[in-house]
Chain A
């Protein structure tokens, strides 16, 4: 099981207070309520760093400072990150956004005090989201932060909101029948 919670990739380091709307994803997708990741991915971080999306690879990590994904707790940017299998490490994140990420089965380690000093933009890192250990591969330096709580890991393993809904439907098959 540890493999699911462990990964290696490139860290893309952002500052503090990166909002969801107009930060993680271009604001114009919000009122349009577009949720197709293929439309959203080309516009990740447009307003923060227009070149960042060209460096993002599946399995990479967004490393952010305080209050990542602040502002309105919309989800389109998180949907795009999830589709790319990009996970989040940040110093803090508003509860509403953390909850939205969990609902999308997107892993976020949100109490990583000082991580934007430890990890530099472009570093290759190894992360264990269960134990909270982050290793800088270039020099082997490591730090341990609070990992993702077991209950939250279970929800993510079961597929977030859709997984929970599917489980409920198996237990209540009458909900699959039209009136």
Chain B
């Protein structure tokens, strides 16, 4: 039976020859990831039911990326409890603050998540792993079920194929495409469903898209309610393809099949509220900002900072702006230092935070005050996401954020002297 990439991975993880949308399966994960913010809750639920151990603890990863610097006494207590719980459960992978990095980036960089792999994760932005062709199923509040029983009931989703053709024009980035596609899906103008659908990217433009751009695109669609995003398999470590690398059959059934021409796209911002509130950047140019932030799970890889470095060369952060930069992992932070980018950013007046989520994790580092305006690459931008509830969080591409940080207001990267660079 012809299958999509998602169906192939789910079938294999379930020990079945084939699956189809609507089937209820209990797939066996190669890895289970949860971040520091939910360990205590999961432990409390399991303990109340009577669990002292978890199933397959060697496959479980606890990774600290939300409360990296323990900004409150409660956070210090939580970090201590998390370590105790990790030891009690004997989890196979425990990455404390400063040891790995972001839980949606580090596992790819370290080769712990590989193409074709099926895994469960607590946090919805595990869709990042689709950038290398791995299928991470967001378990959310069901993660205690996965920890306790080793799996959870899962409905096989439909797949929407999005064929990408053409090339981004100078100053346009995959994140701009993510905002625009989210907006068009939410508005129903593409005539396809998105809730609990896998979005599979295909077409010639995927071939030349670097990993950081793939990650940005996977990440930007997530908040909308798609269950997953997938690209054709690739290895960030340069590993050769193996039997686990899968792609959709030529005659697989897609619930929807659309084609987007990247050359038609202009830079976008997401207006405060949610990532699908996309608007052409022209509508907000010059909006004065107080806060800028490059990082979070969708835009914290080396290439993202390289874009910022090109734009910021010889420039200073505007006097009215606090510009936070948050490398995704320890290895990325080291690479930025090795190649002189950290020096350049600090010379410009940017503030480098330790690897992890940064302000996006509820404003636990570098938050916003009442009435302030920010532009960032955060994963989402609901009211209060990065601090004061009446602050305004705009989202943009790494190029838009870096340029806005040095001009002091939301700026169009096509208008900069750096518009011809490849992003």
Given contacts A73-B141, A96-B225, A166-B50, could you give 11 more A-B pairs where the C-beta distance is less than 8 Å? A94-B195, A95-B195, A96-B138, A161-B145, A165-B45, A174-B53, A176-B51, A176-B52, A177-B52, A177-B53, A178-B53
- A168 near B: Cβ within 8 Å? yes
The answer on a CB contact under 8 Å between A166 and B49 is yes
Cβ distance B129 to chain A, nearest Cβ, rounded Å: 18
Task: Determine whether B164 belongs to the interface, using a CB cutoff of 8 Å to chain A.
Answer: no
Name the residue on A nearest B225 (C-beta). Answer: A94
- Could you tell me the distance in whole angstroms from the C-beta of B139 to the nearest C-beta in chain A? 10
| B88 lies within 8 A of chain A by Cβ | yes
The 0/1 profile, CB within 8 Å of A marked 1, for residues 225-245 of chain B is 101000000000000000000
Distance from B310 Cβ to chain A, minimum over Cβ atoms (Å): 34
- A47 (CB) vs chain B CBs: closest residue: B383
User: B225 contacts which chain A residues (CB < 8 A)?
Assistant: 70, 94-96
Residue contacts A-B, CB under 8 angstroms, 19 given: A27-B383, A33-B37, A71-B274, A72-B380, A72-B382, A96-B138, A96-B225, A151-B24, A161-B145, A165-B45, A165-B46, A165-B149, A168-B149, A174-B53, A176-B51, A177-B52, A177-B53, A178-B53, A179-B53
The smallest beta-carbon distance between B136 and chain A, in angstroms, is 15
Interface size class of B (residues with CB under 8 A): 35 or more
Beta-carbon contact of B148 and A175 below 8 Å: yes
Residues of A within 8 A of B138 (CB): 96
Smallest CB–CB gap between B192 and chain A, Å? Answer: 16
B141 contacts A95, C-beta separation under 8 Å: no
Distance, CA A172 to CA B55, complexed state (A): 10
- B195 near A175 (CB under 8 angstroms)? no
The reply to whether the CB of B349 lies closer than 8 angstroms to some CB of chain A is no
Choice from A31, A161, A162, A175 contacting B53 with Cβ under 8 Å: A175
A interface footprint on B168-212 (CB within 8 Å = 1, 0 otherwise) = 000000000000000000000000000110000000000000000
Residues of A with C-beta under 8 A to B148? 165, 168-169, 175
Any chain B CB within 8 A of the CB of A103? yes
Q: Which residue of A lies closest to B44 (CB)?
A: A35
**Chain A contact patch, size range:** 35 or more
The answer to whether the Cβ of A22 comes within 8 Å of any Cβ in the partner chain is yes
Q: How far, in angstroms, from A69 to B359 measured CA to CA in the complex?
A: 25
B residues less than 8 Å from A155 (CB atoms): 153
Which residue of chain B has the shortest Cβ distance to A166 in the bound complex?
B49
* Interface status of A100 (Cβ within 8 A of chain B): yes
Q: Is B140 positioned at the interface, with any CB of A under 8 Å from its CB?
A: yes
Asked whether A165 and B144 contact (CB < 8 A) given A27-B389, A33-B41, A94-B225, the answer is yes
A71 → B minimal CB distance (Å):
7
Question: For the complex, is B54 an interface residue (Cβ under 8 Å from A)?
Answer: yes
CA distance A164 to B384 in the complex (A): 35
Q: List the 8 closest A-B pairs by CB distance, nearest first.
A: A95-B196, A178-B52, A31-B362, A168-B149, A165-B49, A165-B148, A175-B53, A94-B225
Q: Identify which of B24, B48, B55 contacts A175 (C-beta below 8 A).
A: B55
Q: How far is the CA of A163 from the CA of B205 in the complex (A)?
A: 47
By a CB distance below 8 angstroms, the chain A residues around B227 are 95-96
Instruction: Determine the chain B residues whose CB is within 8 A of the CB of A31 once the complex forms.
Output: 362
Q: Inside 8 A of B49's CB, which chain A residues have their CB?
A: 162, 165-166, 169
Q: Is A96 within 8 A of B362, CB to CB?
A: no
Q: A178 with B195: in contact, given A161-B145, A162-B49 (CB under 8 Å)?
A: no
- Cα of A21 to Cα of B288 in the assembled complex, Å: 28
B49-66 interface (Cβ within 8 A of A): 49-55
Residues of chain A at the chain B interface (Cβ within 8 Å)? 21-22, 27-28, 31, 33, 35, 70-75, 94-96, 99-100, 103, 151, 155, 161-162, 164-166, 168-169, 172, 174-179
CB-nearest residue of chain B to A31: B362
Whole-angstrom CA separation of A110 from B153 in the bound complex = 19
Give 1 or 0 for each of B51-86: 1 = CB within 8 Å of chain A CB: 111110000000000000000000000000000000
B274 close to A103 (CB less than 8 A) = no
Q: Are B51 and A161 in contact (CB under 8 A)?
A: no
Interface status of B90 (Cβ within 8 A of chain A)? yes
The answer to whether A22 touches B383, judged by C-beta atoms less than 8 angstroms apart, is yes
Q: Of the candidates B45, B50, B144, B145, which one forms a contact with A176 in the assembled complex, judged by CB atoms under 8 Å apart?
A: B50
Residues of B within 8 A of A96 (CB): 124, 138, 140, 196, 225, 227
Give the nearest-CB partner of B155 in chain A.
A95
Beyond A95-B227, A96-B196, A103-B141, whether A175 also contacts B54 by CB under 8 A is yes
The residues of A that contact B54 with a CB separation of less than 8 Å are: 175
Nearest A residue to B57, CB-CB: A179
The yes or no answer to B142 lying at the interface (CB within 8 A) is yes
Task: Give every chain A residue within 8 A of B52 (Cβ-Cβ).
Answer: 175-179
> When chains A and B are docked, how far (Å) is the Cα of A95 from the Cα of B142?
13
Whole-angstrom distance between the alpha carbons of A35 and B45 in the complex?
11
Of A28, A73, A177, which contacts B140 at CB under 8 A? Answer: A73
**What separation, in Å, do the CA atoms of A31 and B380 have in the docked complex?**
14
B149 A164 Cβ-Cβ under 8 A: yes
Q: Which residues of the partner chain A approach B37 to less than 8 Å between Cβ atoms?
A: 33
- CB-nearest residue of chain A to B48: A162
Q: Are A161 and B382 in contact (CB under 8 A)?
A: no
What is the chain B residue whose CB lies nearest that of A164? B145
Task: Choose one: A27, A33, A35, A99; the contact of B142 (CB below 8 Å).
Answer: A99
The answer for the CA separation of A103 and B141 in the assembled complex, in Å, is 8
| Whole-angstrom distance between the Cβ of B88 and the nearest chain A Cβ | 7
Q: Least Cβ distance of B263 to chain A in Å?
A: 33
Q: Which residue of B lies closest to A74 (CB)?
A: B141
